[in-house]
């Protein structure tokens, strides 16, 4: 990171800018935003609106995708669980998720 970019980012933060949770679409670096202008601390680029819009779309995951991720997490949890009662609870939740996912896909 160049000193110029570093100074600009610090100035922006001191004057009320915020850190963005979305990484830079060019280098995946940390970005700061003030008054609608985003600055990447890593590469110094300010992405154009169209590129930023394209990169945001995949983050707005469908409910099915989110449920499938939850299903995977619960399956992992089940494989580690030793208590039979807890296993039964997890299995019931997994079955409900599977039913919900299949209904959403129809």
Structural domain boundaries, residue 36: 3-58
75-95 pLDDT, tens digit per residue, is 999 999 999 999 999 999 999
Whether the Cβ atoms of residue 72 and residue 49 lie closer than 8 Å to each other: no
Q: What is the pLDDT of residues 23-70, one digit of tens each?
A: 888 888 888 988 888 888 888 887 655 455 555 545 556 788 888 989
Same domain, 28 and 67: no
Q: What tokens does 26 get? A: 């060019």
SS3 call for 54: helix
Task: Tell me if the pTM is above 0.75.
Answer: no
For 40, 99, 104, the CA distances from 70, given in Å and listed in that order, are 32, 13, 15
User: Are residues 37 and 79 part of one domain?
Assistant: no
Spatial contact of 12 and 20, defined as CB atoms under 8 Å apart: no
**Residue 79 sits in the same domain as residue 44:** no
By the 8 A CB rule, do 71 and 99 touch?
no
| Same structural domain, 69 and 83 | yes
């Amino acid at each position: 990171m160049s000193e110029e970019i570093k100074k600009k980012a610090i100035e922006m933060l001191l004057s009320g800018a915020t850190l963005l949770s979305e990484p830079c679409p060019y280098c995946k670096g940390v970005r700061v935003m003030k008054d609608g202008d985003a600055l990447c601390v890593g590469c110094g680029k300010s992405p154009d609106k169209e590129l930023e819009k394209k990169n945001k779309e995949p983050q707005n995951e469908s409910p099915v995708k989110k449920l499938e991720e939850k299903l995977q997490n619960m399956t992992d949890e089940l494989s580690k669980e030793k208590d039979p009662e807890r296993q039964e609870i997890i299995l019931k939740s997994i079955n409900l998720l599977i039913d919900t996912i299949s209904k959403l896909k129809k």
